[in-house]
Chain A
Amino acid sequence: MILVNYIVSICLIALGLYVMCSKRELIKIVIGMGIMDYGINMLIVSIGFHENGTAPIYTLADIINGNLSFFVDPIPQALTLTSIVIGACVDAMALSLVIMIKRRYKTTDADEVRRLKG
């Protein structure tokens, strides 16, 4: 059921945003960013999905014999792969920044990492 996918992915996005807005621990904020990303990736994959679709790979024999069937849209899958890679990089970079902040500020509490304000 594709509708479930859409609902779950929107819920994941909302959950990610909620975590970013409410959790003071910097690591948890990074996790929130990750959850939001996963929700979007799931949405993109669901967009390309077709019930009973096959992989979008054809040989010349398939075309000659007329075995062409309904296939899953490959572009969203390519987009999702790209987006997963980017998401992993964002998380890695955010975590490395958190490590540096922990070293210099001696804390990972968002309430105390606020020398820049006003």
Chain B
Amino acid sequence: MIQFYEHFPVISVMGLFLAAFLVEIFGNKNKTIRYGISLIACLAAAAMTLYLIIPVFRDGKIISYWMGGWAPEGGYAFGIGYEIDGLGLFFGILTSITFLMSVIFSKRYMERDAHLGHYYTLFLMLAGSVLGLVFTGDVFNLFIMIEIMTFAAVALTAFRHGKHPEALEGAFKYLVLGSIGSSLTLLGVALLYLSTHTLNMAQISALLSSQGFKPTTLFAFAMMLSGLAVKSFVVPFHTPAADAYATAPASVSTLFSGMVNKAGIYGMIRLTYILFRVMDRESVMLLLALIGALTMFVGVTMALAQHDFKRLLAFHSISQIGYVLMSVGLGSVLGLYGGLFHALNHTLFKGLLFLTAGAVYYATGTTNLDKLGGLAKRMPATTACFLVGAFAISGIPPFNGFASKWLIYQAAYEKAVQSGNFVYVIITITALLVSVMTLASFIKVTSAAFLGQQPASLKEVKEVPFSMQLPMFIMSALCLICGLLYRPVLTYLVGPAVSAAMDPSAYIDTMMGSGYAITHGVLPSSMGFAMISAWDPRFWLLLFIIVTCAVTLVAVSDARTRGPVSLPQPGETDAKHATFFGGEKSTHSHVSGSDLFWGFKKDLKGYFHVIGDLHSGRTNDYALWVVLGVTVIMLFTFIFLS
């Protein structure tokens, strides 16, 4: 007997797609109908997804749903199946929160644009595709959903091309790189089908376990991993993300950072933990953790060099995804807890920050930090919400970012102690450093946009309407709740997702009939959530001593060449530097709010020049980055996994 709620996943996905077409048919003229359909579809989908918490999270059920009733025959899956386990539902919840907040925000934020019927159509397609992606149990269906997602995302990026022609450029780069990613995923799916003759994820997992890894399977793994990595925008595939997030409307950027790159992360977790079950191998852990560490470092250093509010947030989004991937890649229970909790928190605080950026754009018409200033007095609610988001992303207690980052540090440090591999020590220190730089960068935004002198052009600025404030307030409240009540959140929300990822045998049995996993050699895993050495304060003391020594060493070793004050060198071309120290040309400093850390940037200008030049903006270069990344992943897979 099939329970009624078992239809909810497919109804919520199909409802969003249906509403997308209804908007296109009936809503192009009438804005009430258009918005009404969108809001009802989003509310219904979110409500149905949230309702699934009761059976899946509380009762520990896994919902399997075969389209048209095509259940497996004789141990072979023929139909397309949806399967909702803890992991899928966890990301489904993130998706629901994001599109619900964004649709409320869109009502007033998008009111000045034309062709809003198309906007809501694409919006609902994007929401439906991500929800379908996390619910599906079929690899080809996953590819289809990825394609719909990329399509809708690209079209939404270019939505404001009338006012901002750069949006076209961002969309084109996103489309080219996104299509490479989709093609790689499709290649991986095809090769998986070649070696297992099925497309069902549960069956693939069981068959791969019984037949072992062949070169074809390894190639498929490398291709799918790089394809999904392109979708989650980790370094070196991150380049289109910055352009697309920065030029899309803020409500769409919220969707991107809240659910589109989470969909990629979800795919990578599903691939490594459940499909191929390779997370017990040190080499895969090292690969994912290194990609994650590189992503967070490159993301945050690029963010320090930005002058545009949304582009800065985009690079922070990349950097935070690095945290998630690094922590998930550690392969430990603690790492999964930290990574998934950080994914939830990132959805909340980064969504909030993009919404505040949207509010600033709505009120002032610009997101250039050099032109903003002193908004705190004019827009107190937005400023308060922004501060909550900034504190959360920088990891300041009692906000949610602190709780998850604390878990991530512990997981990375635990890994370093357990494996004795020095690379993990470096990764732990990187994670701490990146957090500091995140804080620095948000101090810059706060001082540039919300504090300081108010430019004459911003005298007439008014606070945004209530319907735009409401989602910001809800997100702020959720940030605070997740930070204060982190224990229940970890136990009741993150915990089921972690156990689903660590134990694929239940997933396989639900889909293929009980006993299928055991006969193919997939054993149920026992997991313990033990904070082994990470709680030991002595190790923390040791770590802090090491970090302090390292910083001191670097400072001392460099002191002779640099001197206490870096006076302008002869032949200095940076006028800012000359006037700041000389004082002859003008009486006040030219250092504007967005240049708060120019001294730091000047000291490290070698690095910043190189990394800035690498982000050249040329589509060819970005494609080359992707090819290089794919090559590295492929070589790594073949050398260390076979």
Contacts and interface: CB of A to CB of B under 8 A. Distances in A.
Contact of A22 (B154, B158, B176, B620): B620
B368 interface: no
A116 B175 contact: no
B246 A116 contact: yes
**What is the size category of the interface that chain A forms with chain B?**
35 or more
Interface in A52-98: 73, 75-76, 79, 82-83, 86, 89-90, 93-94, 97-98
Q: Is the interface of B mostly helix, strand, loop or mixed?
A: helix
Interface in A2-32: 13, 17, 20-24, 26, 29-30
Most buried by A among B140, B166, B168: B168
Contacts of B172: 26, 94, 97-98, 101, 113
A115 B166 contact: yes
A23 B155 contact: no
A26 B310 CA distance: 26
Contacts of B247: 116
Interface stretch (B178-186, B292-300, B540-548): B178-186
Interface string B438-458: 000000000000000000000
Nearest to A100: B168
B151 A93 contact: yes
Interface stretch (B107-115, B187-195, B201-209, B585-593): B187-195
A36 B154 contact: no
A105 B619 CA distance: 15
A31 to B, nearest CB: 12
B618 interface: yes
A74 B459 CA distance: 67
Contacts of A24: 618, 620
A78 to B, nearest CB: 9
B520 interface: no
Contacts of B194: 47
Contact of B171 (A20, A37, A97): A97
Given A21-B620, A90-B147, 12 more contacts: A20-B180, A21-B627, A22-B620, A30-B176, A76-B193, A82-B144, A90-B179, A94-B176, A101-B169, A101-B172, A105-B165, A111-B618
26 contacts: A13-B183, A17-B180, A20-B176, A21-B623, A24-B620, A29-B176, A29-B620, A33-B183, A36-B180, A37-B179, A40-B187, A44-B190, A47-B193, A47-B194, A79-B189, A89-B151, A90-B151, A93-B175, A94-B179, A97-B171, A104-B161, A111-B618, A114-B616, A116-B170, A117-B617, A118-B612
Contacts of B166: 115-116
Contacts of B161: 100, 104
A76 B187 CA distance: 12
Contacts of A118: 305, 612, 615, 617
